[in-house]
């Protein structure tokens, strides 16, 4: 008894269809969880960047010599760069969520 390949594939497809649809739902769930973790992480780094900026600002205001003021100015610049990067990541997460409807 020989089976036609098309019939066997169709029967396998019918049996595996629930598994395939469940995998698609799990993929959406996993991606939503992953984006949620990235969103939370970016908020924490955003807050740390602001704290780092104000730390540099305090050092700049309390700096006596030019070397200390230059180091404090660099600290403030790095804090602003960190905040900018995290806002960008936050925006990318929002775009990905909007595109995929997560």
Domain residue ranges in the chain:
31-100
pLDDT in tens, 4-49: 566 777 776 766 666 666 555 666 677 777 777 877 887 888 888 8
Contact present, 52 and 84 (Cβ < 8 Å):
no
Report the interhelical angle of 5-62 vs 66-100 (nearest 10°).
150
Q: What integer pLDDT is reported at residue 28 of this predicted model? A: 66
Q: What integer pLDDT is reported at residue 38 of this predicted model? A: 78
For residue 75, which of 58, 48, 53 has the smallest C-alpha distance?
Answer: 53
Q: How would you class 79 by CB atoms within 10 Å of its CB: exposed for 0-12, middle for 13-18, buried for 19 or more?
A: buried
Q: Is the pLDDT of residue 3 over 70?
A: no
Q: What integer pLDDT is reported at residue 6 of this predicted model? A: 65
Q: What integer pLDDT is reported at residue 27 of this predicted model? A: 62
3-state helix/strand/coil string of 45-64: HHHHHHHHHHHHHHHHHHCC
pLDDT in tens, 45-76: 888 888 888 888 888 888 778 888 888 888 88
Q: What integer pLDDT is reported at residue 82 of this predicted model? A: 82
Measured distance CA(33)–CA(80) in Å, rounded: 28
Measured distance CA(32)–CA(97) in Å, rounded: 8
């Amino acid at each position: 008894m020989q089976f036609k390949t098309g019939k066997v594939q169709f029967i396998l497809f019918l049996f595996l269809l629930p598994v395939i649809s469940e995998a698609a739902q799990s993929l959406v769930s996993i991606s939503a969880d992953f984006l949620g973790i990235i969103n939370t992480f970016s908020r924490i780094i955003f807050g740390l960047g602001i704290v780092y900026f104000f730390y540099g600002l305090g050092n700049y205001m309390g700096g006596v010599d030019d070397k200390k003021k230059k180091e404090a100015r660099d600290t403030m610049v790095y804090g602003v760069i960190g905040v900018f990067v995290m806002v960008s990541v936050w925006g990318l997460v929002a775009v990905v969520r909007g595109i995929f409807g997560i």
